[in-house]
Amino acid sequence: MLDEDTTDYTFIYLHSDHPVYGLVKNPRKLISEKYMDSFLNYARKQHSAIASDSTFILYRPSGLLKSPLKTIAERTREWLKEHHEDDSESVRITLNAEAISTILPQDRDRNCLDIIIATLETLTKWTNFGAPMAWPSGESGHFFHAARPAGNHGPPVALFDSTLGLLAFRLSHLDENLPELRPDHDECKLAHEFVHQLLDTYDSEDLRLRAIEPFVKMLGPDVGYKKTINGIYLDVVYGAATDLPYGMVELKNEFGLRVDGSIQARLSYTKIVLQDKQETKRILKASNCPAVVIGIMGEFVEIGAAVYIDGTYSDFLFSERMRLGYHKNATVLRIARAFKAVKLALADLRDFYQELWVRPPPTPAVRHLFPLPIAEPSWQGHMPSITFTHRMSHSGRLFVIASTNEERSSGIYVGNMLMANPSTSSSSAAEKSIEVVVKFTSEYNDHAHRLLVSAGFAPTLHACVPVCGNVKMVVMDRVHGEMVCGEEPRVGGMLVDFDWAGKADEARYPVIMNTSLSEWADVRVARGGIKHDLHLLRKIEALCGSAST
């Protein structure tokens, strides 16, 4: 391209080793037609230092002067520290929403930098967002999130690690005879002995632990007993050769005496991942430290999962009190299947941690701060490929690290989804990404959503996938506030929430409702039929009628 046929824009790319400052030449005749994803493609073609396998985040740094160039990198870093979570359209750029000439008009200040090109990994290095040092400290009391008190929880732990996701799915389907959970003869025999031994009484916890050692040893090869890590005494650990175990068991001689074994296992896990050791810190920067935590209290067994994000998040996945009465065959088979699921999970976690020890990521990652959902094995549809960039509060604010219970409990995320482009043939050019909102929810009516999409009143729904963790992953186009969607002037907004939508005269209100809101219809019976749609329609009709007079 001749210089007179192009428009030049200045940018800085945050490389993992050093920043790259330069110009991007764009065809002048196309800048009013092409979106910012084309700008990014031009930048990648003209500057080989820009990685081709990353998900990019573009910022418009208004007021960030180019001169002096020798300090542009440091000044960019300071700007990002303040603005990297700013979601306004004038700061964080949506790649396929506006033309290049709209984002970067001709009358812009040419003394200022036009664009910052960043990736999640380089943002971590340059802004320290997602780094453990930026998280709430343990001393603040905000590092343990196990749903007590109410509201102190996050999305299901199963969403954040594929191994824990499969474990959660398998433990919730023990009565369905899943092929991978069919125990062999020896496993059934050990399960029977395990249940029998738990039902016995013992003079001490040591004697109880000694009785179940054969069963505990069967679950994994790298097992240690009565091990102390970071001053924390553990009855049983898997991954005993390291200071960061991937499985732990806390045992109490009887249920209800002294401390709850399950809670103690989770607290021990938290103290271990926060230990002041370089190797542990390195693993914590590269993963969310997935682990299986088990509590055994007398004849009561509880299996859970834990991850560390901005604190410990843990869920109970299985709990049962042992009995060998008239239904002893079913009890033993159920326990054998449950611990077959645990055995498979521990093996996968052992491989995961060994890979991290041997080949750690070259730079700190942030992807472990976001979900890594897997579809339920029975799902036959498409599973979208999404790189998450932010979490979103229920009020629409973007963030990365939660700081309040409201943010912590939100199951809404923003990310970039790969889309196939049938108009191109090469594998590299056949993929483009679009910005989407991903919502994890226990209830969702995708049929109602698609009906509204066809009428132009809802954003495109790309997927509604049942994922491990007993929730649905809902993927839709992101709708920015104050943006009129659709070409018809009558369409001035989009409906984005279909959790409780259903068929007329069949759909019912949830049991838990905020009855203080005036928008609800006059319903006083829990689980009553949903009527507020007609109720609100009458309100709108009344408003329209008063506006026309």
Residue 384 — φ and ψ, nearest 5°?
A: -60, 150
Sign of CA dihedral 77, 82, 85, 89: negative
3-state SS, 45-94, equals HHCCCCCCCCCEEEECCCCCECCCHHHHHHHHHHHHHHHCCCCCCCCEEC
Which residue intervals of 159-204 are DSSP H helices?
A: 162-171, 185-199
Residue 375: both structure tokens together: 């579809």
Report the C-alpha gap between 502 and 286 in whole angstroms: 42
Summarised one tens digit per residue, pLDDT across range 156-176 is 999 999 999 999 999 999 999
State the average pLDDT over residues 186-211: 94
Token reading at 384 = 């979208």
- Residues 90 and 29: their CA atoms lie apart, in Å, by 23
| Confidence band of 407 (pLDDT split at 50, 70, 90) | confident
Q: Between 480 and 113, whose confidence is greater?
A: 113
**Locate tokens 């002067």: which residue?**
65
Mean pLDDT of the region 108-129: 77
And the tokens for 200? 């016995």
Which pLDDT score is estimated for 53?
58
**Residue 549 banded pLDDT, cuts 50, 70, 90:** low
Tokens of 504: 């007329």
Give residue limits of the domains in the chain: 3-127, 137-365, 373-502
Give, in words, the CATH class of 3-127: alpha beta
Query: pLDDT-based confidence at 368, cuts 50/70/90?
Result: confident
Angle at 234 between CA 231 and CA 240, to 5 degrees: 95
- Give the whole-angstrom CA distance, residue 270 versus residue 234: 13
Query: Which residues, 6+ apart, have CB-to-CB distance to 437 below 8 Å?
Result: 392, 412, 413, 414, 459, 475, 476, 477, 478, 479, 496
What is the three-class DSSP state of 119? strand
CB 406 within 8 A of CB 394: yes
| Contact partners, residue 37, CB within 8 Å, separation at least 6 | 95, 96, 432, 433
The pLDDT > 70 percentage for the chain reads 84
Average pLDDT, stretch 241-260?
A: 85
Whether the link from the prior residue into 68 is cis, omega within 30° of 0, is yes
